[in-house]
Structure 1
């Protein structure tokens, strides 16, 4: 697929943009275009570019355009791999900088359709330095609260992956695409090919999803609707997400242990049931961008009655470090975009095995606490099952926590509390009562704002 075919495959309409922007202090064209054979005088470089132009009809390895995707205007960057392997040179950097600048000027998201082998060797360090330009432009757009979505085509390697790809807010990939910092010719000879594939990067938490080509257009349209809602007043107040209704059995537990038993029932409604009931449609992100993904936590964005609301929902399992980091990523992204957040709390606690400790459980939990503490958008939290210690509290918004009748929240599970206090098993029920973990206890103690009713 050519660069223009890639744009046409996802856009309703598009118009190519041709302006370029030189870096501050450089008013003349880049050396790559002004000097014979580029800034290094690389013999044959001009001829190679001429052949690439004849083969592709393009003047550079990237095409930039103003496009509408699902009715939402955006700036699209699309790489032409047949032009010197989609490599980044100085003129590529000029085009990319101009495109990011245009997106900021118009308040538009950036969608990158990437297919590149990395930096252009024929321009040496002048080419490699373009990564710093791209990284700066991406950071400026991020600071401006503008979404960035990347689509990883085959291949997406080198600096293109480490800037345009990996730095995006949402990362989609086509099946079987090569994805990795190391290109195919520089990897160790015994390297596992799966680690450099879209599927392998999804498993290791580096991308959000793999999308078949025939679903890419619709998927991008959904993400544009979720991340680019009709403009609200950016100086106005963000309305909090409404508190969900309780989906489980009504009636409050009589004892502390009764609350524990109800919260641990296998048939109790879990996160997926609450998300299905709450949202009209939704899309999920995946992975912590640090090498891990936790299926026990669901994070993403959904539409409810015409509004976009971000969500982070524990699924009743012990939350792993990757899950906490993914939740923190979600909260920070929603905060940047001005989107309210809903968290669903349901975990027996943070994972406490050796693997979790090696993966930085404490640091990951601290990251979520910090994300919630500093979020400027409102965060609404609902305890829907087990509230196990700090692993649950990490996702509970301070001062905006509600509970369902079939939930409990405790500083520690009654069993472990009894063990620490050197009580025998017959005293676990008594310990549960003393901990005051029932929803009505939490309300009386001022831990929650209320107990939500059924629909």
Structure 2
């Protein structure tokens, strides 16, 4: 288990418990289980206290935890008969974006998401989840296909933001993001979006302009990263804690503002401590949101999305 900065006290306690158990395994005559169990109870209490009042910056750290389940994990666990579809039919295939036809609870759907990768090799291949223009154009192509065949669209968002490189800008990054966002808004099928980690900038909005938007409890969703915001406002990236608070990027803040519709609870200690439980909870949320939209006409679905985004933020104006 990789520990975050604010989890260091927890790391010490759990480390000591593991040391005691390691000693017992080496020597059959040593019985350390009682002492180790006491440390386990102490660790659980500390974990509960730590996660009871996470700051916005701490939630950002949890959302970025490398051991959280990623898009590929959700697709493998929740969807059957997944058939990946590659390429934007123009330039290349962007491995930061996964997409294809699958079955969800035996219902045909189109699933699209950002994939960060799980080790050094796959993270480089996936560009750490930062899509280039061809990734968004691939998504547009898949959304068009879903619209043509009446398939609900399920998106899984986990990106620091769109890739900011020179080549991406030369190939029309902003235009591709804008068209992907527009496509989400105009298709005549249900669009269900879930932020499973980071929802960064326009790179996230391009997949999140849906009829229903959910967020995991410790995920974040913002127009800019706390570090980027701090660099612009205070010329100091180290003020990211203040920036995180000001951005109101947590699921709890965004639900109050009406930006998202639902918060999916995570296990104690975050998704990284209960991957299977987290994936199952996201699956239940997706099923519930799809059920809410089932049977609605094309016109009703488009109108629902329009009204949702026109009214966004109204809930928080008086706060």
Q: TM-score, normalised by structure 2?
A: 0.62
Give distance in 1, aligned partners of 2:133 and 2:101: 21
The structure in which a higher percent of residues are strand is 1
Q: Please name the residue that 2:115 is paired with.
A: 315
Give distance in 2, aligned partners of 1:415 and 1:267: 22
Q: Please name the residue that 2:200 is paired with.
A: 388
Q: Please name the residue that 1:447 is paired with.
A: 259
Distance apart, 1:252 and its partner CA: 7.0
Name the CA shift for 1:390/1:335 in 2 (closer, same or farther; >3 Å).
same
Name the CA shift for 1:329/1:288 in 2 (closer, same or farther; >3 Å).
same
Matched, 1:255 2:55: yes
SS of the residue 2:184 aligns to: helix
Aligned length: 206
Give distance in 2, aligned partners of 1:354 and 1:424: 24
Q: How does 1:233-312 map to 2 (within 5 A)?
A: 254-312=54-112
Q: Please name the residue that 1:437 is paired with.
A: 249
Q: Are 2:192 and 2:210, in contact at CA under 8 Å, matched by a contact in 1?
A: no
Q: Select which of 329, 332, 335 maps to 2:144.
A: 332
Distance apart, 1:397 and its partner CA: 2.6
Q: Are 1:325 and 1:364, in contact at CA under 8 Å, matched by a contact in 2?
A: yes
Highest Rg: 1 or 2?
Answer: 1
Distance apart, 1:281 and its partner CA: 2.1
Q: Please name the residue that 1:233 is paired with.
A: none
Q: Are 1:283 and 1:300, in contact at CA under 8 Å, matched by a contact in 2?
A: yes
* Cα RMSD after superposing both structures: 1.7
The structure in which a higher percent of residues are helix is 2
Give distance in 2, aligned partners of 1:320 and 1:252: 37
The structure, 1 or 2, with the larger RCO (C-alpha pairs under 8 Å, 6+ apart) is 2
SS of the residue 2:207 aligns to: coil
Q: Select which of 402, 409, 417 maps to 2:214.
A: 402
Q: Are 1:255 and 1:438, in contact at CA under 8 Å, matched by a contact in 2?
A: no
Q: Are 2:57 and 2:241, in contact at CA under 8 Å, matched by a contact in 1?
A: yes
Name the CA shift for 1:426/1:357 in 2 (closer, same or farther; >3 Å).
closer
Distance apart, 1:366 and its partner CA: 1.7
Q: Please name the residue that 2:183 is paired with.
A: 371
1:26-57: CA deviation from partner (whole Å, max 9, x where unpaired)? xxxxxxxxxxxxxxxxxxxxxxxxxxxxxxxx
1:318-353: CA deviation from partner (whole Å, max 9, x where unpaired)? 111110000010001000101111011111001111
Give distance in 2, aligned partners of 1:376 and 1:428: 40
Q: Please name the residue that 2:9 is paired with.
A: none
Give distance in 1, aligned partners of 2:172 and 2:134: 9
Name the CA shift for 1:310/1:430 in 2 (closer, same or farther; >3 Å).
same
SS of the residue 2:188 aligns to: coil
Name the CA shift for 1:299/1:420 in 2 (closer, same or farther; >3 Å).
same
Distance apart, 1:301 and its partner CA: 0.7
Q: Select which of 163, 168, 180 maps to 1:356.
A: 168
Distance apart, 1:253 and its partner CA: 6.3
SS of the residue 1:395 aligns to: helix
Give distance in 2, aligned partners of 1:252 and 1:383: 21
Distance apart, 1:272 and its partner CA: 0.7
1:92-124: CA deviation from partner (whole Å, max 9, x where unpaired)? xxxxxxxxxxxxxxxxxxxxxxxxxxxxxxxxx
Q: How does 1:38-437 map to 2 (within 5 A)?
A: 254-316=54-116, 317-437=129-249
Q: Please name the residue that 2:286 is paired with.
A: none
Give distance in 1, aligned partners of 2:209 and 2:150: 17
Distance apart, 1:409 and its partner CA: 0.5
